[in-house]
């Protein structure tokens, strides 16, 4: 199958070729033709499968004709998190570069004034998180009656984050004649109900679950006492050819503490969690993408759906509470044909979580002995560190004198979190700054069903 067979315009084909894509991914091959025929779609696919282009590309062609009016967006894409929304906007810019469509991004954490101005001018495509959209709607800044195209992306995450009532409300404000596309990695009953209620005779397209199909990820679990986790992590980072790694923790305080400690210990580490404002999250992500730092400590929340390529290792410093999150986390590595390593730390309280991951993925996770990990390389104080070997990702250690003066420098820390941490990211509705989970999953896998 070629892109040229899908019915897209020449301008789009050119943009796709410029993006360097040779062939459509299975979800694109299945979804684009019916979307162009104005059919409703349920896409069961995860991030990493190329699903964004499967709705963005046909939308651009559909919207190419027609004009936007003030405060009346012509199409709406709902995303669970700001980062995902920003990523979809980037996709629109990339694929829509030969078109003249206007776009606005409505996300929390950035000034409302500019967003309102953009809406006043009229937009063809509105990309929004439900919270900010409802806020502006209630202030009378948006009229939904001109919106003929709706995308609900990552619907199961929306459910986890308590956004379904907002989505129901938004759907009921849109014209009933609209075209609707719903994407979700899984189809729990409330999402099925949502699609029954708001989609019209949808065509279902599904690509297989990456965790079961993707054999390019070398997965293992290591039993470890909670207090020994950091030592074990350093052993892995020092000895196992780690180029870039995402270290997932379940709590944002843990992300913060671990990152801070790793920096003190000489690692080029950054962090991304729900307590950071939008611009710091994106700035940190840019530092990781550009290679300025090679380790990113992350909460599921902030990392959800981010397209970070070429991560050699994912370490689950904490085993995720939800098995779906495991699939999304490990999907950061081994993407688009590359191989990757995913290591999960398991304490003696985590058996239940291991069981549910194994049940969901249908595989038994190989257990590695913690002794198989060489101990961390001793840095700093006693022995001088030899020239930095390729796999040694720690910063050159300062001399003892430098260490002493560095200690005097106050550490730049995030504000102390006084709120108690949530036990589970799926409980209740959470604020957009504390939204959701994590991310993508490998791509370009077999298309399985075409119901
Ligand atoms: P997504 O699932 O939309 O997050 O896409 C995952 C990654 O796949 C993104 O980096 C896209 O740029 C890339 N991608 C999307 N479609 C294709 C394609 N047909 N060929 C190669 N890469 C693609």
> Does residue 210 have its Cβ closer than 6 Å to ligand 1?
no
- For the chain, give the mean pLDDT: 81
Beta-carbon neighbour count of residue 428 at 10 Å?
Answer: 9
DSSP strand E in 116-263: where?
125-128, 149-152, 179-184, 203-207, 217-223, 245-249
Q: Residue 47, SS3?
A: coil
Percentage of the chain beyond pLDDT 90 is 54
Q: From atom 11 of ligand 1, which residue's Cα is the shortest distance away? A: 50
Rounded mean pLDDT of 134-150? 93
pLDDT at 110: 77
Question: For residue 396, what pLDDT band results from cuts at 50, 70 and 90?
Answer: very low
β-pairing, 447-449 vs 203-207, is: antiparallel
User: Which pLDDT belongs to residue 337?
Assistant: 58
Per-residue pLDDT band for 168 (boundaries 50, 70, 90) equals very high
Confidence of residue 303 (pLDDT cuts 50, 70, 90): low
Which pLDDT value is given to residue 276?
83
Mean pLDDT, range 305-322, rounded to an integer: 83
Nearest ligand 1 atom to the CA of 309 is 10
Distance from residue 17's CA to the centre of ligand 1 (Å): 12
Question: Among 37-46, 131-140, 358-367, which is the least confidently predicted range?
Answer: 358-367
pLDDT at residue 239 greater than cutoff 90:
yes
Ligand 1 pocket, 16 CB below 6 A?
no
Instruction: Give the pLDDT confidence score for residue 16 in this predicted structure.
Output: 95
Residue 105 pLDDT greater than 80, yes or no: yes
Residue 126 CA, ligand 1 centroid: distance in Å? 21
Three-state DSSP class for residue 139: coil
Does the C-beta of 184 come closer than 6 Å to ligand 1? no
User: What does the pLDDT read at residue 83?
Assistant: 81
Q: Which atom of ligand 1 is nearest to the CA of 94?
A: 12
Asked whether 25 lines ligand 1 (CB < 6 A), one says yes
Residue among 288, 295, 309 nearest 237 (CA)? 295
Tell me how far the alpha carbon of residue 442 lies from the centroid of ligand 1, in angstroms: 10
| Tens digit of each residue's pLDDT (9 = 90 or more) over 337-346 | 567 899 999 9
When pLDDT is averaged across residues 356-366 and rounded to a whole number, the result is 84
Q: Is 433 in the pocket of ligand 1 (CB under 6 A)?
A: no
- For residue 54 and ligand 1, the question of a CB distance below 6 A is answered with no
Q: Which helix (H) or strand (E) holds 191?
A: helix 189-198
Q: Is 328 near ligand 1, meaning CB less than 6 Å away?
A: no
| pLDDT the model gives residue 245 | 95
Residue to mutate, 1, 80, 443, ligand 1, most ligand atoms under 8 Å from C-beta: 443
Kindly report, residue by residue over 150-161, the tens digit of the pLDDT.
999 999 889 888
Candidates 110, 137, 25; CA nearest to 3 is 25
User: Span 253-282, mean pLDDT?
Assistant: 91
Of 200-209, 387-396, 429-438, which range is least confident?
429-438
Closest residue by Cα to atom 8, ligand 1, is 50
What pLDDT was estimated at residue 30? Answer: 95
Using CA positions, which residue lies closest to atom 13 of ligand 1? Answer: 50
Nearest atom of ligand 1 to the alpha carbon of 48: 2
Q: At 401, which helix (H) or strand (E)?
A: helix 400-408
Q: Which atom of ligand 1 is nearest to the CA of 23?
A: 19
Does residue 314 register a pLDDT over 90?
A: yes
Asked whether 222 and 232 are in contact (CB, 8 A), the reply is: yes
**Per-residue confidence (pLDDT) for residue 310, from 0 to 100:** 67
Instruction: Quote the pLDDT of residue 391.
Output: 40
Burial (0-12, 13-18, 19+ Cβ within 10 Å), 221: buried
Ligand 1 in contact with 440 (CB < 6 A)? yes
The protein residue whose alpha carbon is closest to atom 22 in ligand 1 is: 21
Which residue owns the Cα nearest ligand 1 atom 21?
21
Q: Whose CA is nearest to atom 14 of ligand 1?
A: 50
Residue 49 CA to ligand 1 center (angstroms) comes to: 6
Tens-place pLDDT, residues 23-61: 899 999 999 999 999 999 999 987 778 899 999 999 999
Residue 316 near ligand 1, beta carbon < 6 Å: no
Q: What digits encode the pLDDT tens for the residues 316-337? A: 999 998 887 888 788 788 765 5
Query: What is residue 297's predicted lDDT score, i.e. its pLDDT?
Result: 96
Does pLDDT of 253 surpass 60?
Answer: yes
Mutate to test the pocket of ligand 1, among 53, 91, 93, 310 (most ligand atoms within 8 A of CB): 53
How many residues are present in the chain?
451
Tens of pLDDT, residues 201-221: 999 998 865 444 355 788 999
Q: If you average pLDDT over each of 228-237, 282-291, 371-380, 440-449, which comes out highest?
A: 228-237
* Cα of 37 from ligand 1 centre, angstroms: 23
Mean pLDDT of 164-181: 95
Q: Which residue out of 1, 43, 50, 86 has the highest number of ligand 1 atoms within 8 Å of its CB and is therefore the one to mutate?
A: 50
Taking CA atoms only, the protein residue closest to ligand 1 atom 23 is 50
With 80 as the cut, is the pLDDT of residue 132 above it? Answer: yes
Q: Is 116 exposed, middle or buried (0-12, 13-18, 19+ CB in 10 A)?
A: middle
Average pLDDT over every residue of 86-96? 93
The residue-averaged pLDDT of 375-402 equals 46
- CA 360/CA 350 separation, integer angstroms: 16
The CA distance from 135 to 130, in Å, is: 8
């Amino acid at each position: 199958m070629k892109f040229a067979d899908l019915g897209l315009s020449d301008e789009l084909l050119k943009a796709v070729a410029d993006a360097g894509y040779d062939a459509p991914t299975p979800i694109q091959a299945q979804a684009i033709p019916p979307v162009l025929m104005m059919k409703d779609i349920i896409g069961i696919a995860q991030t990493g499968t190329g699903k964004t282009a499967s709705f963005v590309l046909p939308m651009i062609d559909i919207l190419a004709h027609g004009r936007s009016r003030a405060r009346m967006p012509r199409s709406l894409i709902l995303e669970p998190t700001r980062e995902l929304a920003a990523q979809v906007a980037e996709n629109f810019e990339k694929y829509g570069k030969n078109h003249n469509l206007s776009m606005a991004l409505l996300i929390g954490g950035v000034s409302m004034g500019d967003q309102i101005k953009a809406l006043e001018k009229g937009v063809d495509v509105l990309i929004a998180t439900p919270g900010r959209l409802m806020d502006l709607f209630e202030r009378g800044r948006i009229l939904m009656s001109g919106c003929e195209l709706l995308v609900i992306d990552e619907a199961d995450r929306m459910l986890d984050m308590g956004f379904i009532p907002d989505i129901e409300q938004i759907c009921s404000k849109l014209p009933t004649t609209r075209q609707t596309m719903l994407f979700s990695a899984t189809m729990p009953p409330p999402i099925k109900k949502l699609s029954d209620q708001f989609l019209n005779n949808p065509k279902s397209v599904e690509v297989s679950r990456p965790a079961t199909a993707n054999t390019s990820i070398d997965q293992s679990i290591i039993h470890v006492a909670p207090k020994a986790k950091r030592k074990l992590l350093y052993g892995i980072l020092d000895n196992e050819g780690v180029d870039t790694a995402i270290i997932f923790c379940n709590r944002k305080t843990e992300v913060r503490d671990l990152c801070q400690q790793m920096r003190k210990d000489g690692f080029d580490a950054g962090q991304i969690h729900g307590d950071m404002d939008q611009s710091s999250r994106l700035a940190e992500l840019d530092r990781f993408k550009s290679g300025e730092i090679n380790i990113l400590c992350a909460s599921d929340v902030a990392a959800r759906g981010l397209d970070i390529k070429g991560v050699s290792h994912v370490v689950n410093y904490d085993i995720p509470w939800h098995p779906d999150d495991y699939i999304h986390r490990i999907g950061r590595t081994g993407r688009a044909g590359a191989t990757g390593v995913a290591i999960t730390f398991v304490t003696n309280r985590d058996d239940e979580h291991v069981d549910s991951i194994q049940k969901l993925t249908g595989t038994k996770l190989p257990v590695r002995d913690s002794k198989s990990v060489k101990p961390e390389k001793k840095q700093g104080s006693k022995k001088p560190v030899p020239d930095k070997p390729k796999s040694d990702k720690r910063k050159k250690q300062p001399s003892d004198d430098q260490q002493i003066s560095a200690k005097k420098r106050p550490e730049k820390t995030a504000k102390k979190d006084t709120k108690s941490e949530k036990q589970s990211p799926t409980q209740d509705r959470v604020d957009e700054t504390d939204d959701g989970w994590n991310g993508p999953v490998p791509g370009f896998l077999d298309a399985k069903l075409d119901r």
